[in-house]
Amino acid sequence: MPIRQLPSHLINQIAAGEVVERPSSVLKELAENSLDAQATHITIDVEQGGIKRIRIRDNGIGIPKEELKLALRRHATSKISSLSDLERVNSLGFRGEALPSIASVSRLSLISRYQSEEQGWNIQVDGYGECTEPAPVSHPVGTTVDIRDLFFNTPARRKFLKTERTEYKHLEDVVKKIALSRLDTHIELRHNQKTTLLLRPASNQQDADKRVSQITGSAFMEQSLYLDYSAAGLRLWGWIGLPTFSRSQADLQYFYVNKRIIRDKVVTHAVRQSYSDVLYHGRHPAYVLFLELDPQSVDVNAHPAKHEVRFREARLVHDFLYRTLHQALADVRPETESPAREHRPELPGQQLPEGKPQQAYTPQQRRLGMPVNEQLSMYNRLGQSAGFNSLANAGSSPSVQGAATTPAPQQDTEGTDVPPLGYALAQLHGIYILAENATGLVLVDMHAAHERITYESLKKSHTEDAIRSQPLLVPLAINVSRKEADFAEEYADTFRQLGFEINRLEAEKIVIRGIPSLLRGADIETLVRDVLADLITHGSSDRIEMQINEILSTMACHNSVRANHKLTLPEMNALLRDMERTERSGQCNHGRPTWTQMSIAQLDKLFMRGQ
């Protein structure tokens, strides 16, 4: 078959196969064009899930009459003009493929009025490459693109579309992603002449919270943290769900790079790693996060649909994301984890101090994990009641009988010195600690809480004492690829810091001479292979730390107080104080919550007081 030049219309249809997958793909491209045109108000009308019709109207700057036909030609764009522009793309669209590709598989009408013109102009494309001349029409400043009968001339593509309901769901998801990327833009979505989503612009933090809540659900906002942190030319801000608000699927994860929604394995790995110590097995974190960096530091031209990006310094981005999120989750203590979440930083938020250090925790317990002498002097200062002083002098309290202990003397919970978790009142069924704080009732799972405290203490001691390495009596030789052997040699110091002694024997063989003493009995060969795979893919790996932490977690579980163990009130209070100064104390090592709060208002509602 002879070589021939493909006709322009066929070229556009081939490009449409990459850009236009379904109605939601069309909407994404058109909405991004509206945002690039500086639109602050976007109205979207769809019929039959977008299969029959997609119309998007914006109040952007519009397109001049003489450029309307040019806008429908392939690789025609106003967003780049040179290679230097391509290396630092600031716009959402720039390839010049969207409009001609969409026009080649639909019936398209383009109406636009440029900001300096007195009237709008309309051109139409019939789906076969024929374009009408611009005709005058009444239209406000901005652009309206009307897409009808998607894939009418490519039946093979049309038959792969799903039901109206399914296609609309995909389309709605795209609108939500776009709406989160531009909180200051008014967006309305109508399906079959009925408004299904109305998102008003946010001008302050309260409005931003409300808009995010409208998209993600109120439960996410009630159990999320707002953060804003900058370092090394990078800025990360947004909302991260508390570990106790996890999902069975990764369906509530929104990540934006310079306001562009993306999917990236570096980002996914960093976020997963930051949650690794606090999430229940098999659960997924929820977040709405925005990363801002120099456009030259990220390549957004990695995929025609622009879903994927490439970071020029992937390791820097990975470490920045991990350390920022890891520290934010570690800083969640009882005083900052109130479910009410009434006090939040102002948008765009206050920056955390550069290089904020980890807060050191020095364990005080030795006998049964809960001595009380170091706590009693503080209790004497905070609580001056005679009952508490006598308790301190006695060093004991009534034992648990049946459901609960005899109530403790009342503390002055109205004062400003009341600790976040308050003072212990009783023990319930040998499992839960009941405490009173300034807000109301606190309920603590004593085993889960003490497990986290012990675990964090073991991790700190393990880190400070360095990882002990144990030589192998018989070195373990492993056949690997040349690339894996190169990485084993390059990261030999990293392995050594983690307790491994690894040397290269041949071009495609390494030998393990020493392993961390805590990993005796583990499948070392599989672990090393997995670590090398992570290093090749991500430039880092947390598998060794995860295995060590898993062992430490088991040790903490076995060394924590068990159910039905009777605690004195001072021991309960000691546990509460340790929770307040321990990182990640809101969850046990398995991701389950360690405590919950019921306010007086909630209790009043429960008993219908004042009704």
Length of the chain counted residue by residue: 611
Residues 6 or more apart from 258 whose CB is under 8 A from it?
Answer: 90, 291, 292, 293, 295, 298, 300
How high is the pLDDT of residue 100?
A: 87
What confidence category does residue 496 fall into, taking pLDDT thresholds of 50, 70 and 90? Answer: confident
Q: What is the pTM of this model?
A: 0.74
Is the pLDDT assigned to residue 391 strictly greater than 70?
no
| Residue 301, CA atoms < 13 Å, CB-side half-sphere | 16
Compute the distance between CA of residue 76 and CA of residue 74 in angstroms, rounded to an integer. 5
Compute the distance between CA of residue 157 and CA of residue 69 in angstroms, rounded to an integer. 26
- Report the range of poorest mean pLDDT among 236-250, 379-393, 499-513: 379-393
How high is the pLDDT of residue 406?
A: 40
Determine the average pLDDT of the residues in 549-569: 79
How high is the pLDDT of residue 15?
A: 63
Determine the average pLDDT of the residues in 161-172: 95
Positive/negative CA dihedral, 549, 555, 557, 560: negative
Is the pLDDT assigned to residue 556 strictly greater than 70?
yes
Positive/negative CA dihedral, 54, 57, 62, 68: positive
Compute the distance between CA of residue 184 and CA of residue 322 in angstroms, rounded to an integer. 28
In 38-94, which ranges are continuous DSSP H helix? 83-87
Determine the average pLDDT of the residues in 387-398: 33
How high is the pLDDT of residue 403?
A: 40
Compute the distance between CA of residue 39 and CA of residue 110 in angstroms, rounded to an integer. 16
Mean pLDDT, the chain, whole residue set: 81
Positive/negative CA dihedral, 335, 336, 340, 343: positive
Q: Answer for the pair 89, 207: CB distance below 8 angstroms, yes or no.
A: no
More confident residue, 179 or 464: 179
How high is the pLDDT of residue 580?
A: 92
Q: Specify the residue for token string 């319930």.
A: 428
Q: Answer for the pair 100, 74: CB distance below 8 angstroms, yes or no.
A: yes
Is the pLDDT assigned to residue 199 strictly greater than 90?
yes
More confident residue, 181 or 129: 181
Q: Are strands 234-241 and 509-516 parallel, antiparallel or unpaired?
A: unpaired
How high is the pLDDT of residue 409?
A: 47
Compute the distance between CA of residue 586 and CA of residue 424 in angstroms, rounded to an integer. 17
How high is the pLDDT of residue 252?
A: 94
Q: Which of 130, 137, 143, 140 has the alpha carbon at shortest distance from 34?
A: 143
In the structure encoding, which two tokens stand for residue 385, read together?
A: 């009641």
How high is the pLDDT of residue 304?
A: 61
**Exposed (0-12), middle (13-18) or buried (19+): which is 416, by Cβ within 10 Å?**
exposed
Phi-psi group of 395: left, alpha or beta (phi > 0 → left; psi -120 to 50 → alpha; rest → beta)? left
Strands (E), 104-247: 107-113, 120-125, 135-137, 142-148, 186-191, 194-199, 224-231, 234-241
3 state DSSP class of 407: coil
pLDDT digits (tens, 9 = 90+) for 447-492: 999 999 988 888 887 777 666 788 998 899 999 999 999 999 998 8
Is the pLDDT assigned to residue 376 strictly greater than 70?
no
How high is the pLDDT of residue 598?
A: 92
How high is the pLDDT of residue 357?
A: 33
Give CA angle at 142 (138, 148), nearest 5°.
80
C-alpha to C-alpha distances, 333 to 196, 421, 442, 578, 587, nearest whole angstrom: 39, 10, 14, 10, 10
In the structure encoding, which two tokens stand for residue 61, read together?
A: 């700057």
Determine the average pLDDT of the residues in 561-582: 88
Dump the DSSP string for 494-556: HHHHTT-EEEEEETTEEEEEEEEGGGTTS-HHHHHHHHHHHHHHHS---HHHHHHHHHHHHHH
pLDDT digits (tens, 9 = 90+) for 295-348: 999 888 766 666 788 898 988 999 999 999 999 998 887 765 543 343 333 333
Compute the distance between CA of residue 607 and CA of residue 473 in angstroms, rounded to an integer. 68
Compute the distance between CA of residue 531 and CA of residue 490 in angstroms, rounded to an integer. 13
What confidence category does residue 83 fall into, taking pLDDT thresholds of 50, 70 and 90? Answer: low
How high is the pLDDT of residue 384?
A: 38
Compute the distance between CA of residue 456 and CA of residue 465 in angstroms, rounded to an integer. 14
Is the pLDDT assigned to residue 208 strictly greater than 60?
yes
pLDDT digits (tens, 9 = 90+) for 27-52: 999 999 999 999 999 999 999 999 99
What is the rounded (10 degree) CA torsion for 101, 105, 107, 109? Answer: -10
More confident residue, 416 or 545: 545
How high is the pLDDT of residue 345?
A: 36
Task: Give the domains, in start order, of the chain with CATH numbers.
Answer: 8-198 (3.30.565.10), 205-336 (3.30.230.10), 360-611 (3.30.1540.20)
Q: Answer for the pair 308, 265: CB distance below 8 angstroms, yes or no.
A: no
Q: How much of the chain exceeds pLDDT 90, in percent?
A: 49
In the structure encoding, which two tokens stand for residue 609, read together?
A: 């007081």
What confidence category does residue 86 fall into, taking pLDDT thresholds of 50, 70 and 90? Answer: low
Determine the average pLDDT of the residues in 543-572: 80
Compute the distance between CA of residue 127 and CA of residue 235 in angstroms, rounded to an integer. 44
pLDDT digits (tens, 9 = 90+) for 138-155: 999 999 999 999 999 888
In the structure encoding, which two tokens stand for residue 520, read together?
A: 């005796």
Determine the average pLDDT of the residues in 203-232: 94
Which value, in Å, is the radius of gyration of the alpha carbons in the chain?
30
Compute the distance between CA of residue 448 and CA of residue 68 in angstroms, rounded to an integer. 65
How high is the pLDDT of residue 44?
A: 98
Compute the distance between CA of residue 9 and CA of residue 14 in angstroms, rounded to an integer. 9
In the structure encoding, which two tokens stand for residue 333, read together?
A: 């203590």
Determine the average pLDDT of the residues in 169-178: 96
Compute the distance between CA of residue 31 and CA of residue 193 in angstroms, rounded to an integer. 19
pLDDT digits (tens, 9 = 90+) for 515-535: 888 787 788 898 899 889 888
How high is the pLDDT of residue 95?
A: 62
Is the pLDDT assigned to residue 512 strictly greater than 60?
yes
The single-letter code of the amino acid at 279 is L
More confident residue, 320 or 495: 320
Q: How much of the chain exceeds pLDDT 70, in percent?
A: 82
- Report the range of poorest mean pLDDT among 52-56, 221-225, 329-333, 405-409: 405-409
Q: Answer for the pair 57, 144: CB distance below 8 angstroms, yes or no.
A: yes
- Report the range of poorest mean pLDDT among 170-174, 376-380, 478-482, 590-594: 376-380
How high is the pLDDT of residue 306?
A: 66
Q: Which of 138, 142, 88, 97 has the alpha carbon at shortest distance from 115?
A: 142
